[in-house]
Amino acid sequence: MTYIAKPPLHHPSLEKNALGFTRRDYEGRISTLCAGCGHDSISAAIIQACFEIDLAPHRLAKFSGIGCSSKTPDYFVSPAHGFNAVHGRMPSVLTGANIASKDLIYLGVSGDGDSASIGLGQFAHAVRRGVNMTYIVENNGVYGLTKGQFSATSDKGSKAKKGAENKDSPIDLVMLALQLGATYVGRSFSGDKTQLVPLIKGALHHKGAAIIDVLSPCVAFNNHVGSTKSFDYVREHNEAVNRLDVISPRAPIRAEYAPGELKEVVQHDGSTLRLRKIEEEYDPSDRNAALGYLARKATEGEIVTGLLYVDPAAHDLHDSLNTVDTPLNKLRDVDLIPPVSALEKINSGLR
């Protein structure tokens, strides 16, 4: 951390978005994480994404569990709503809030320990229910906050700082999310904002469970030779399958490209995901093919990144439950409590 607050002074050319906010208006308090932590770059990417999609800060609800990663919602979009849950329990708290107040934009921020170790069950159920949320796992392969024990996403054979080797099989949260029915799945790297920012923007626009696994090196405990989650290792093995551009619902769409070069996907809210292929055979609309591809690449030791799967017409938990349009927390007593006559009607039917 630093002692001084980040000065409000800014570059003279700093732009404003449609709401009249600058990127700096989406910042939070100064980070208390270790200098150089990948998580801080992800916060910067979230700030950039919220700014670019003209998100009104009060429409965002931030949720997290426990861990360095889970501390970060304090470091972006200060005016947003937020809830810091106990370890691994963020998904159910987010689900509850989402059920009660469907008109907010839900952002869960978690770690690989928070989501793949203690919170695996919670993670799985929030995804399979299709909670409308953006769920970012800041994946560093260790429990950073408790000083670097291997987490459940740590690769078999990856070495700890003092040389101990991880003997357990890793959980791949991307593959898990695909199996569990997530409708927007991406993977990225904290050190590549050109890839990460559009992925977050697309996820915030997505209706349904959007999961982004972001490799985020822990400079203090997992950035050494022998680790498979270090800056150098991730850079060497990163294989992006596509490049994404996100066009907001109201922005004019210009088609100035050769057919076949780009694939455009219009999401539920009218936003357009414009995908430029890098890997010819990769098709992000085919869940099973994606799973096969990812499994194959994982055995080759490659880290596949990009928008890996998207179903633009997805349904979310509210669709399944068939809730009313009005957020439940805005329903008045008269809407919720039937009159005595209604009770009598029921009772008379039972007589």
Partner 1 sequence: MKPTDIRNPDYFHKVVDCQWACPAHTPVPEYIRLIAAKRYTDAYLINWKSNVFPGILGRTCDRPCEPACRRGRVEEEPVAICRLKRVAADNKEDSVAALMPAPAAKKNGKRVACIGAGPASLTVARDLLAIGYEVHIFDGDAKAGGMVRTQIPRFRLPESVIDEEVGYITRLEPVLHLGERVDSLKAFLAQGWDAVFVGTGAPRGRDLKLPGQAECAANIHIGIDWLSNVSFEHIHTIGKRVIVLGGGNTAMDCCRTSRRLGGEDVKVIVRSGFDEMKASPWEKEDAMHEGIPILNFLNPREFTHENGKLTGVWFTKMHWVEEGGKKKLVPSGEPDVHYECDDVLMAVGQENAFPWIERDLGMTFDKWDMPVVDQVTMQSSIANVFFGGDAAFGPKNIIWAVAHGHEAAVSIDLLLTGEDVKQRPGPGVTIASTKMGIHEWAYDNDPSLDHRFRVPQVEPEVALRNVKVEVEKGFDPLLGFKEARRCLNCDVQTVFAADLCIECDACVDICPMDCITFTENGEETALREHLKAPALNLTQDLYIADGLKTGRIMAKDEDVCLHCGLCAERCPTGAWDMQQFYLEMTHAGCSSAPKAKPAPQPVGAK
Ligand X SMILES: Cc1ncc(C[n+]2csc(CCOP(=O)(O)OP(=O)(O)O)c2C)c(N)n1
**x-or-dash string of contact with partner 1, 133-172, rule CB under 8 A:** ----------------------------------------
State yes or no: residue 114 binds ligand X (CB under 6 A): yes
Please, what is the minimum distance in Å from the beta carbon of residue 303 to partner 1? 16
- Given the rule CB under 6 A, which of 55-63, 96-104, 138-146, 186-194 is the region that contacts ligand X? 138-146
66 contacts which partner out of Mg ion, partner 1, ligand X, none, CB within 5 to 8 A by kind? ligand X
State yes or no: residue 223 binds partner 1 (CB under 8 A): yes
Q: How many CB atoms lie within 10 A of CB 140?
A: 34
- 70 or 242: whose CB is closer to Mg ion? 70
Please, what is the minimum distance in Å from the beta carbon of residue 34 to partner 1? 7
Judged by CB under 5 A, which of 38, 108, 111, 312 binds Mg ion? 111
State yes or no: residue 91 binds Mg ion (CB under 5 A): no
Please, what is the minimum distance in Å from the beta carbon of residue 104 to ligand X? 24
Judged by CB under 6 A, which of 112, 155, 213, 311 binds ligand X? 112
- Given the rule CB under 6 A, which of 61-69, 128-136, 181-189, 241-249 is the region that contacts ligand X? 61-69
One-letter-per-residue 3-state SS of the chain: CCCCCCCCCCCCCCCECCCCCEHHHHECCCCCCCCCCHHHHHHHHHHHHHHHCCCCHHHEEEEECCCHHHHHHHHECCCCEEEECCCCCHHHHHHHHHHHCCCCEEEEEEEHHHHHHCCHHHHHHHHHHCCCEEEEEEECCEECCCCCEECCCCCCCCECCCCCECCCCCCCHHHHHHHCCCCEEEEEECCCHHHHHHHHHHHHHCCCEEEEEEECCCCCCCCCCCCCCCHHHHHHHEEECEEEEEECCCCCCCCCCCECCEEEEECCCCCEEEEEECCCCCCCCCHHHHHHHHHHHHHCCCEEEEEEEECCCCCCHHHHHCCCCCCHHHCCHHHHCCCHHHHHHHHHHHC
- For residue 116, count CB atoms less than 10 angstroms from its CB and return exposed for 0-12, middle for 13-18, buried for 19 or more: buried
State yes or no: residue 44 binds partner 1 (CB under 8 A): yes
- What is the Rg, in whole angstroms, of the alpha carbon atoms belonging to the chain? 21
Interacting residues with ligand X between 62 and 91 (CB under 6 A): 66-69, 87
Judged by CB under 6 A, which of 91, 111, 186, 217 binds ligand X? 111
Cα(16)–Cα(69) distance, rounded to whole angstroms? Answer: 28
State yes or no: residue 140 binds Mg ion (CB under 5 A): yes
State yes or no: residue 135 binds ligand X (CB under 6 A): no
State yes or no: residue 112 binds Mg ion (CB under 5 A): yes
**x-or-dash string of contact with partner 1, 186-205, rule CB under 8 A:** ----xx-x------------
- 189 or 282: whose CB is closer to partner 1? 189
The residues, ordered by sequence, that sit 6+ positions from 123 with a Cβ below 8 Å of its Cβ are 91, 110, 115, 116, 135, 173, 176
State yes or no: residue 155 binds Mg ion (CB under 5 A): no
State yes or no: residue 231 binds partner 1 (CB under 8 A): yes
State yes or no: residue 13 binds partner 1 (CB under 8 A): yes
State yes or no: residue 213 binds ligand X (CB under 6 A): no
Please, what is the minimum distance in Å from the beta carbon of residue 123 to partner 1? 27
Judged by CB under 8 A, which of 16, 18, 19, 35 binds partner 1? 35
Please, what is the minimum distance in Å from the beta carbon of residue 140 to ligand X? 5
Six token digits for residue 88:
């691994």
Which residues are at the interface with ligand X (CB under 6 A)? 66-69, 87, 111-114, 118, 138, 140, 142-146, 151
